[in-house]
């Protein structure tokens, strides 16, 4: 089997790495890939932008690929799956309409309301005066969100009404419309990534990530500074409820709208202190860095279960098998991220890290000749799998210690919340 992975993050390195472990997968192309995918055996990078969905489709046709796995949301929301399906190329990832689950928060909210899925109460607005009038009548804190894709920069948790008014002005000025004003939910967040063939849905192991730049989960939002799996907050009772009350009704509602959704259904949940789950948002693709802790634990060949989704035979597919233990990932970033940072710094120590047993998934890296250099904000992720949290955390930081480049930054407290629940 020949596969093509779209994207260039740690998520895509993990996807390509996992797919290539399957005895069925002979070759892989990553578009555009990164320094990590360039170094994978039997894998080749193709330098096209992820937005170039026509170009990527041509690459898939020319190389007669048997499966395309789409990492990021942008090409999905541009309709890459529609294009590939037209050309009879099997693709794992929803169509443009299905991707609205992520690309329009108000569309997703109306679908979830229809499906009876628990969500935060809220309203969408196309003008600032009405949004502010609504905010005046609500309690604070309150959440103001861009409706459309905003690369993680479209959500403001406002502590006061005047902060919320400012957020409304900021989002409209930035060109977002409609915007959403939403009730603030308290609790702990968890990511449930599930896969579906449009009829059946199976969840993967639950994960949690650390979105903030600073230790103690403070400071600016990022693409994710670390993650761990399985997340101890997600008990088997909770997972059953999520399946029955959230995932299955969502898939049924998508079908009711005539959407043939084959891909990842990623529920970002808030679990209240009473243990009640509500959906904060859906994503229509694998999460990053969650993928870097979920996939290493998966024993079932990834290509096989993905094919079962694409060919709509997930119901007959045997239960997913998982390695025992806990996976922890620490993201090593360029200092300054998520603001300004420098690129082009020489990276060393990856082999030394891997020699102690961790796996390094590259993200913002590039190969310059045979020199591996930094090429982005989140440079790489180090993942350790051990029997329990304490051991995994110790090992992951031993791995991180091996890695060197100028002006690196990482959080030293990844997994602290889970560790206090466990061990
Ligand atoms: N209703 C809410 N109550 C409390 N926190 C929220 C709420 N909505 C979003 N957040 C916080 O903001 C983060 C980003 O919101 P999310 O809806 O996931 O948007 P996106 O991932 O598209 O930026 C969430 O992970 C959560 O920490
Ligand atoms: Mg989110």
DSSP 1-68: -EEEEEE-SHHHHHHHHHHHHSTT--EEEEEE--HHHHHSTTEEE----TT-HHHHHHHHHHTT-SEE
Q: Whose CA is nearest to atom 12 of ligand 1?
A: 155
Taking phi first (over 0 means left), then psi (-120 to 50 degrees means alpha), and beta for anything else, what does residue 20 get? alpha
Distance 154 CA to ligand 2 centre (A): 10
Among all bound ligands, the one having the nearest atom to the CA of 270 is 1
Contacts of 2 (CB under 8 A, 6+ apart): 25, 26, 27, 28, 29, 63, 64, 65, 66, 67
185 and 280 in contact (C-beta within 8 Å)?
A: yes
Nearest atom in ligand 1 to the alpha carbon of residue 146 is 22
Going from the Cα of 224 to the center of ligand 2, the distance in angstroms, rounded, reads 10
pLDDT at 294: 98
CA of 184, closest atom in ligand 1: 3
> Is ligand 1 within 6 A of the CB of residue 163?
no
Ligand with smallest separation from the Cα of 185: 1
Task: Name the residue with the closest Cα to ligand 1, atom 2.
Answer: 184
For residue 70, the cross-strand partners are 6
pTM value? 0.97
Other C-beta atoms within 10 Å of 88: how many? 7
Domains in the chain and their CATH numbers? Answer: 2-96 (3.40.50.20), 127-177 (3.30.1490.20), 188-310 (3.30.470.20), 326-421 (3.90.600.10)
Task: Give the number of whichever ligand sits closest to the CA of residue 281.
Answer: 1
Q: Is 187 in the pocket of ligand 1 (CB under 6 A)?
A: no
Is the CB–ligand 1 distance for residue 182 below 6 Å?
yes
- Which residue stretches of 137-224 are H helix? 161-173
In this structure, the chain runs to a length of 423
Q: What is the pLDDT of residue 422?
A: 60
- In a structure prediction context, what are the per-residue pLDDT tens digits for the chain, which is 423 residues long? 999 999 999 999 999 999 999 999 999 999 999 999 999 999 999 999 999 999 999 999 999 999 999 999 999 999 999 999 999 999 999 999 999 999 999 999 999 999 999 999 999 999 999 999 999 999 999 999 999 999 888 999 999 999 999 999 999 999 999 999 999 999 999 999 999 999 999 999 999 999 999 999 999 999 999 999 999 999 999 999 999 999 999 999 999 999 999 999 999 999 999 999 999 999 999 999 999 999 999 999 999 999 999 999 999 999 999 999 999 999 999 999 999 999 999 999 999 999 999 999 999 999 999 999 999 999 999 999 999 999 999 999 999 999 999 999 999 999 998 887 765
Ligand 1 and 154: CB distance under 6 A: yes
Contact 197, 313 (CB under 8 A): yes
| Dist. CA 280 → ligand 1 center (Å) | 6
Residue 395 near residue 388 (C-beta atoms within 8 A): no
Q: Say if ligand 1 is within 6 A of residue 161 CB.
A: no
Q: Which residue out of 72, 122, 148, 157 has the highest number of ligand 1 atoms within 8 Å of its CB and is therefore the one to mutate? A: 157
Burial grade of 299 (CB within 10 A; 0-12, 13-18, 19 or more): exposed
Q: Is 268 in the pocket of ligand 1 (CB under 6 A)?
A: yes
Q: Ligand 1: distance of its center to the CA of 379 in Å?
A: 24
What pLDDT does 152 receive?
A: 83
Q: What pLDDT is recorded for position 417? A: 84
Q: From 77, 281, 338, give the residue whose CB has the most ligand 1 atoms within 8 Å, as the site to mutate.
A: 281
152 lines ligand 1 (CB under 6 A): yes
- Ligand 1 neighbourhood includes 280 CB (under 6 angstroms): yes
């Amino acid at each position: 089997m020949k596969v093509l992975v779209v994207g260039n993050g740690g998520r895509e390195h993990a996807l390509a790495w996992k797919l290539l472990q399957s005895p069925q997968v002979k070759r892989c192309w990553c578009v555009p890939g990164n320094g990590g995918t360039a170094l994978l055996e039997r894998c080749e990078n193709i330098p096209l932008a992820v937005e170039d969905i026509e170009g990527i489709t041509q690459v898939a046709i020319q190389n007669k690929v048997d499966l395309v796995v789409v990492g990021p949301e942008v090409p999905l929301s541009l309709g890459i799956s529609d294009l590939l399906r037209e050309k009879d190329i099997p693709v794992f990832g929803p169509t443009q309409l299905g991707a609205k689950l992520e690309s329009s928060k108000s569309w997703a909210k109306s679908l979830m309301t229809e499906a009876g899925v628990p969500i935060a109460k809220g309203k969408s607005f196309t003008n600032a005066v009405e949004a502010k009038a609504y905010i005046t009548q609500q309690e604070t804190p309150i959440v103001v969100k861009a409706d459309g894709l905003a690369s993680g920069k479209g959500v403001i948790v406002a502590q006061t009404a005047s902060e919320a008014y400012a957020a409304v002005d900021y989002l409209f000025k930035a060109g977002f419309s409609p915007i959403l004003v939403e009730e603030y939910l308290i609790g702990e967040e968890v990511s449930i990534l599930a896969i579906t063939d449009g009829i059946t849905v199976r969840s993967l192991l639950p994960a949690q990530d650390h979105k903030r730049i600073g230790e103690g989960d403070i400071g600016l939002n990022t693409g994710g500074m670390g993650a761990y799996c399985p997340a101890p907050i997600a008990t088997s009772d909770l997972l059953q409820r999520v399946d029955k009350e959230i995932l299955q009704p969502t898939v049924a509602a998508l079908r009711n709208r005539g959407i043939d959704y084959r891909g990842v259904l990623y529920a970002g949940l808030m679990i209240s202190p009473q243990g009640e789950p509500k959906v904060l948002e859906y994503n229509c693709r694998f999460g990053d860095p969650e993928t870097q802790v979920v996939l290493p634990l998966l024993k079932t060949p990834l290509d096989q279960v993905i094919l079962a989704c694409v060919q709509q035979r997930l119901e007959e597919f045997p239960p997913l098998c998982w390695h025992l233990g806990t996976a922890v990932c620490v993201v090593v970033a360029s200092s300054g991220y998520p603001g300004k940072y420098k690129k082009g710094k020489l990276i060393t120590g990856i082999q030394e890290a891997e020699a102690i047993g961790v796996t390094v998934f590259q993200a913002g890296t590039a190969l310059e000749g045979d020199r591996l250099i930094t090429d982005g904000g989140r440079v790489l992720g180090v993942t350790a799998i051990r029997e329990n949290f304490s051991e995994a955390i110790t090992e992951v930081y031993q791995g991180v210690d091996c890695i060197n480049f100028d002006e690196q930054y990482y959080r030293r407290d990844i997994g602290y919340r889970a560790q206090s629940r466990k061990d």
